[in-house]
Amino acid sequence: MSLLILVVIYVFVMCNLVVCRMSKEYQDGVEEFIEFAMRHSEDKKTTRCPCKKCCNVAVLTLEEVQDHLMIHGIMSSYKIWFFHGERAPNEV
């Protein structure tokens, strides 16, 4: 495969990721997550960041988490927000 084709594929994939994160649905989901995290945060100002870069290790301000989610996206495996107060269905 030529370098040009690889570059075109890379740009196409990256543009699709950015468009997905810029969609109203994604932005609404990030806002919903931030509100949920704030309600379950001890200090109401910081929480673990579930972005693909931080992987729930870094504790950041809610504003920083929101930025990270918009820039890096959320970890695809993070379905139940157990680091943010959500319980698994069998724990309820």
* Average pLDDT score over the chain: 82
Q: Can you tell me the distance from the alpha carbon of 35 to that of 68, in angstroms, rounded to the nearest whole number? A: 15
pLDDT of residue 86: 73
The residue with tokens 């699709």 is: 16
What pTM, to 2 d.p., does this model score? 0.71
pLDDT at 6: 60
Please say if the pLDDT value at position 52 is more than 80. Answer: yes
Q: Is residue 70 part of a domain?
A: yes
- Residue in 40, 68, 38, 39 with CA at minimum distance from that of residue 55: 68
- Domain range holding 31? 24-91
**Domain assignment of residue 41, yes or no:** yes
Torsion of the alpha carbons at 14, 15, 16 and 20, rounded to the nearest 10: 100
Residue 92 has pLDDT above 70, yes or no: no
Domain annotation covers residue 64: yes
What SS3 state is found at 1?
Answer: coil
Mean pLDDT calculated for residue range 42-53 = 93
CA distances from 50 to 32, 38, 46, 57, 87 (A): 14, 14, 12, 8, 16
Query: In this structure, is residue 7 part of a structural domain?
Result: no
Q: How many domains does the chain have?
A: 1
